[in-house]
Amino acid sequence: QVQLLESGPGLVRPSETLSLTCTVSGASISSYFWSWVRQPAGKGPEWIGRLYTSGSSNYNPSLYSRVSSSIDTSNNRFSLNLRSVTAADTAVYYCARGPKVGTSDYSFFYMDVWGKGTTVTVSS
Amino acid sequence: DIQMTQSPSSLSASVGDRVTITCRASQYISNYLNWYQQKPGKAPTLLIYAASSLQSGVPSRFTGSGSQTDFTLTISSLQPEDFAVYYCQQTYTGPQTFGPGTKVDIK
């Protein structure tokens, strides 16, 4: 069964870069969309962005100037970098799998497998 | 960005009740609407995609309906494990956006 595991520092200083990795096990990372979602305490989820194994990506315009991501097919993992963080970036960060490319419903971009989430606090 | 609203924001119900949650988009989204369930301290789980398609492994008591701007999630007979927060999400255009959630708790 497919499992996703987020990893990275739980505390990041203001103005620094938040870096997270999502390791995929139980399935190949190829041919799927992969997403990052965050959720501040007590609030709804916020979509950060989506990437594909070709390297193409889409990001939330509200974060576009600060975010980047990459995919490492050799090690079955993908990563997120969020620059110049502030307290407003404090949240639980999730990685998630999107639909398989080429299937009849892939354009609905649902997220069917999620990691457990990792809490990131931005504080000095 | 497309704004999603949900009603009610919370509801209290008993085991066996029929529960209906409504989600509305600020503009046309066809059927690009997904529903998730989230329990405390856990990641969201996918229930319904494409407005009415039941995700594999999800009990058939969950049904989704609607199109264009108005959507509904119905739980036909509420079970103890269904007490959670439910979110709708649009993926039609622009950044994917989630609704604010509907909390279903025990009456």
Token output for A17: 């870069």
Would you state the pLDDT for residue B100? 97
CA-nearest residue to B47 within chain A is: A112
- Please write the tens of the pLDDT for every residue from A72-123: 999 999 999 999 999 999 999 999 999 888 888 888 899 999 999 999 999 9
* pLDDT tier at A55, thresholds 50, 70, 90: confident
A2–chain B nearest CA distance, Å: 14
* 3-state SS class at B80: helix
Cross-strand bridge partners of residue A18:
A82
Q: Is a pLDDT exceeding 90 seen at residue B29?
A: yes
Question: B44–A114: do the CB atoms touch at under 8 Å?
Answer: yes
Q: What is the mean pLDDT of chain A?
A: 95
Residue range B91-99: mean pLDDT, rounded: 95
CA atoms within 13 A on the CB side of A53: 16
Cross-strand bridge partners of residue A26:
none
Whether residue B45 contacts residue B92, with contact meaning beta carbons closer than 8 Å, is answered with no
Question: Chain A contact for B107, CB < 8 A?
Answer: no
Q: Is a pLDDT exceeding 90 seen at residue A13?
A: yes
Euclidean distance between CA atoms B89 and B4, whole angstroms: 8
Would you state the pLDDT for residue B46? 98
Residue range A27-56: mean pLDDT, rounded: 93
Question: B91–A109: do the CB atoms touch at under 8 Å?
Answer: yes
Q: Is a pLDDT exceeding 90 seen at residue A9?
A: yes
Q: What is the mean pLDDT of chain B?
A: 97
* pLDDT tier at B32, thresholds 50, 70, 90: very high
Would you state the pLDDT for residue B107? 86
Euclidean distance between CA atoms B95 and A48, whole angstroms: 8
* pLDDT tier at A60, thresholds 50, 70, 90: very high
Residue range A7-32: mean pLDDT, rounded: 96
Q: Beta strands of B10-106 (E only): which ranges?
A: 10-13, 19-25, 33-38, 45-49, 53-54, 62-67, 70-75, 84-90, 97-98, 102-106
Euclidean distance between CA atoms A103 and A34, whole angstroms: 15
- Which residues of chain B have a CB within 8 Å of the CB of A117? 43
In whole angstroms, how far apart are CA B68 and each of A52, B5, B23, B34, B53? 28, 14, 11, 13, 16
In whole angstroms, how far apart are CA B106 and each of A89, B14, B77, B79, B82? 33, 6, 13, 10, 10
Whether residue A117 contacts residue A94, with contact meaning beta carbons closer than 8 Å, is answered with yes
Question: Taking the CB of residue A71, how many other CB atoms lie within 10 A of it?
Answer: 22
- Which residues of chain B have a CB within 8 Å of the CB of A110? 34, 46, 49-50, 55, 89, 91
B87–chain A nearest CA distance, Å: 8
Residue range A27-39: mean pLDDT, rounded: 94
